[in-house]
Amino acid sequence: MKQADFYILPCADQEGKFDFLGKLLGRILSGGHQIYLHCNDQFSTEQVSQALWQYRDSSFLANALSSEKIIAPITIGWGEQAAEHTDVLINYSDNIPATAAKFERVVEIVIQQSDVLALSRKRYKQYQQQGFKIKHNDMRKPPQR
C-alpha cells in the first residue's frame, strides 16, 4: 500500500525545515532508496540543489536536477519532471505533483506557519482520497521510551 509520511516539525522557519530535510535525506539514502525531491519552481529547485551540495562542512548530499537527465541518489525537479528511477518522493512544494501516485512512499515536511499548515491539511486529505496510508510523525513531542 502506498504511504504518505507527514513530519510535523516544531519550527516555523525554512532553515529548520531544510536542516530536517538534510537529516531525512541521509536516513532515506542509507536505506538504499532513490529520492525525487519535488520543488515549487526552477528557482527553488536550483537553490535546494546548491544548498544540498553544501549541506554540512564535513559532508554533502549528491544530487542532480531532473532536467539534466543524470542519475543521482537525489533528483530534484519541479512541474511534471519526476525522475523515472526513484522510489521515494519528498514533496518540498505547496501542491501534490501529478506524478505522486507512482511512488510507494511520499514524504511531507510541515512547519508551524499558518499558510503551510493549511496547505498541508489540504494535501493530507488529497492523499487519503488517493488511497495512501497516512503516517503522522509529530516531531514536536519528545521520543517515547
pLDDT tens digit at each of 145 positions of the chain: 899 999 999 999 999 999 999 999 999 999 999 999 999 999 999 999 999 988 876 677 889 899 887 888 999 999 887 667 789 999 999 999 999 999 999 999 999 999 999 999 999 999 999 999 999 999 998 766 6
131, 99, 65, 55: CA torsion to nearest 10: -10
Query: How do the domains of the chain map onto residue ranges?
Result: 3-138
37, 126, 141, 33: CA torsion to nearest 10: -30
Q: Give CATH for domain 3-138.
A: 3.40.50.10110
